[in-house]
Amino acid sequence: MSQEVKSLNFAAEANYTIRLCKEIVAYHYPDKMPLGSFELVASNKVRSDEETLAEVFNGSAYACEKEVAEDPCFDWVPRKEQIFDEHKLMQLSIWKKEWDADAKCFEPVDLGCADAPSPRTLRARPAAA
């Protein structure tokens, strides 16, 4: 997630779209976060520009690739998203896209786990002695 911006708090209504929230971020950070250079993430998903905050924060379960345990003593349950409330803090994460110099565009955000590190990650690691 992006460390380039500090928390940005703003009053919002249930009918605000993700696109509007992106425009607010871009307005406050025009040099660091121009439109198209980041995505907003909630419930472990990149959110669509058309979704409203009421659709994002709807109380549904998420982050559950685990099977429910057969052991009755194991009480793991899937996390549930908050339900939108204008009097509570709702949180969206900013995921900065990386610039692809060859294609001259931002790379799409992939929240999945990769089998092998990307070439950029390999270059960043120190060589093993």
Would residue 94 count as lying in a domain? yes
> In this predicted structure, what is the pLDDT of residue 51?
94
The answer to the question of residue 9 being in a domain is no
First to last CA, the chain: 31
11: in domain: no
Provide DSSP, 93-119: EEEEPPEETTTTEEPPP--SPPSS--H
In a domain, 97, yes or no: yes
Domain assignment present for 113: yes
User: pTM of the full predicted structure?
Assistant: 0.69
User: Is-contact 25 33, C-beta < 8 A?
Assistant: yes
How many angstroms separate the CA atoms of 85 and 106, rounded? Answer: 33
13 occurs within a structural domain: no
Domain assignment present for residue 51? The answer is yes
- In the chain (129 residues long), the average pLDDT of successive 10-residue segments reads 71 93 94 92 89 89 63 67 81 87 84 55 49
- Residue 10 counted as domain residue: no
DSSP letters spanning 63-83: S--SPPPS-TT-----EEPPB
| Owning domain of residue 39 | 18-124
Q: What is the pLDDT of residue 48?
A: 93
Please tell me the distance from the alpha carbon of residue 19 to that of residue 92, in angstroms, as a whole number.
12
CB-CB neighbours of 44 under 10 Å: 13
How many structural domains are present in the chain?
1
